[in-house]
Amino acid sequence: MGKGRGASLCLVFLSCWFLLGFVQGTPNYRDALAKSLLFFQGQRSGRLPPTQQITWRSTSGLSDGLFSHVDLTGGYYDAGDNIKFNFPMAFTTTMLSWSTLEYGKKMGPQLQEARAAIRWATDYLLKCALATPNKLYVGVGDPNVDHKCWERPEDMDTVRNVYSVSPTNPGSDVAGETAAALAAASLVFRKVDRKYSTLLLATAKKVMQFAVQYRGAYSDSLGSAVCPFYCSYSGYKDELLWGAAWLLRATNDVSYFNLLKSLGADDQTDVFSWDNKYAGARVLLARRALVNNDKNFDQFRVHAEDFMCRILPNSPYSTTQYTQGGLIYKLPESNLQYVTSITFLLTTYAKYIKSTKHTFNCGSLLVTPNSLTGLARRQVDYILGVNPLKMSYMVGYGQYFPKRIHHRGSSMPSMASHPQAIGCEGGFQPYYYSPNPNPNLLLGAVVGGPNQNDGYPDDRTDYSHSEPATYINAAIVGPLAYFAGRNAN
How many C-beta neighbours within 10 Å does residue 228 have? 9
Least confident residue range of 11-20, 38-47, 108-117, 233-242: 11-20
Show Cβ contacts of residue 230 under 8 Å, excluding neighbours closer than 6 positions. Answer: 78, 85, 87, 88, 274, 275
Strand partners, 360: 367
Catalytic residue among 71, 123, 458, 462: 458
Nearest partner of 75 among 20, 22, 26, 129, judged by Cα: 129
CA 233 to chain centroid: 17
Find the angle CA(471)-CA(273)-CA(160) to the nearest 5 degrees: 50
- The pLDDT score that the predictor gives to residue 488 is 60
% pLDDT > 70, the chain: 94
Dump pLDDT digits (tens) for 110-152. 999 999 999 999 999 999 999 999 999 999 999 999 999 999 9
- The pLDDT score that the predictor gives to residue 422 is 96
In whole angstroms, give the CA distance from residue 397 to residue 407.
Answer: 17
- The pLDDT score that the predictor gives to residue 266 is 74
Asked if residue 163 lies in contact with residue 226, where contact means CB atoms within 8 angstroms, the answer is yes
DSSP string across 395-414 = TTSSSS--SS-S-HHHHS--
Nearest partner of 240 among 254, 256, 219, 253, judged by Cα: 256
What CA–CA distances, in Å, run from 431 to 421, 434, 448? Answer: 14, 5, 20
Dump pLDDT digits (tens) for 352-368. 999 999 999 999 999 99
What CA–CA distances, in Å, run from 272 to 86, 238, 257, 277? Answer: 18, 11, 22, 6
Mean pLDDT, rounded, of the chain: 94
The answer to whether residue 467 is catalytic is yes
Task: Give the 3-state secondary structure of residue 116.
Answer: helix
Q: Is the C-alpha dihedral spanning 51, 54, 55, 58 positive or negative? A: negative
Catalytic residue among 78, 151, 239, 406: 406
Report the DSSP pairing between strands 365-367 and 321-322.
Answer: unpaired
- 13 pLDDT more than 50: no
In whole angstroms, give the CA distance from residue 437 to residue 459.
Answer: 10
In whole angstroms, give the CA distance from residue 458 to residue 207.
Answer: 41
What CA–CA distances, in Å, run from 263 to 241, 243, 266? Answer: 7, 12, 10
Average pLDDT over residues 456-468: 98
What CA–CA distances, in Å, run from 251 to 98, 179, 191, 202, 479? Answer: 16, 13, 15, 10, 26
Asked if residue 441 lies in contact with residue 395, where contact means CB atoms within 8 angstroms, the answer is yes
Query: CA torsion 329→335→339→345, rounded to 10°?
Result: -110
Q: What are phi and psi of 310, to 5 degrees?
A: -80, -15
Name the pLDDT band for 264 (thresholds 50, 70, 90).
confident
Would you give the end-to-end CA distance of the chain in angstroms?
42
Dump pLDDT digits (tens) for 231-257. 999 999 999 999 999 999 999 999 999
Average pLDDT over residues 301-320: 98
DSSP string across 280-298 = HHHHHHHHHHHTS--GGGH
Average pLDDT over residues 94-116: 98
- The pLDDT score that the predictor gives to residue 5 is 30
Answering whether pTM is above 0.85, one says yes
Report the DSSP pairing between strands 321-322 and 84-85.
Answer: unpaired
Dump pLDDT digits (tens) for 380-438. 999 999 999 999 999 999 999 999 999 999 999 999 999 999 999 999 999 999 999 99
Name the pLDDT band for 11 (thresholds 50, 70, 90).
very low
The answer to whether residue 81 is catalytic is yes
In whole angstroms, give the CA distance from residue 65 to residue 128.
Answer: 10
Polymer length of the chain: 489
The answer to whether residue 358 is catalytic is no
